[in-house]
Structure 1
Amino acid sequence: MKLWIYRPAQLLDAARDYKLYADGKFVTYVKRGQRFCVEVPDDTQTLQAKLSWCSSQPIHTNDISHGAVTIKNAFSHNPFLVFFCSTLFSTFGRKHYLKLII
């Protein structure tokens, strides 16, 4: 199965690469501002992005209708959250730190 992966050029995590996993197995690194096509096995059930101990919620591949996934930091759109709640997101909200958008 071919998937188009896109990561916007956000300021947070600019120097760090996200990792993409298919069914718990490493697939590729995703760099800031990168858009590319990746091949995952046809029997893949879930996709998940990770950054150190933080991650996204897993998404099911049968929900991906158009073959494109965007990986981004879940709270970087709100400056208030960036300045005052980033520690909260990287500790208690670590499983919601990244967001996969289909």
Structure 2
Amino acid sequence: MNSRKKIPMRKCVATGEMRPKKELIRVVRSKEGEVSIDPTGKKSGRGAYLSKEKEAVLLAKKKGILSKHLEADVEESIYDELLDLIEKEKRPI
């Protein structure tokens, strides 16, 4: 019997695309209301997923999509961190 491992899919809040969880970045709001980036995808709290694309992050920033999904204020530094993360992953080693 051929057993394939199921790939967890998540939806990007900016683009609306369904993608494998590993292709997305999770941003999480803790119970205290603190918003942070969750590279492991395992922090507790309300999460929102963004594609690892500069355009998706800029769209989310422009329209305030993360603030709406997380029901919290998202600081500029979070968007800057997301863009830095994307740049680091795109660079060849």
TM-score (norm 1): 0.28
Greater RCO, 1 or 2 (C-alpha within 8 Å, sep 6+): 1
Structure showing greater Rg: 2
Bigger helix fraction: 2
Bigger strand fraction: 1
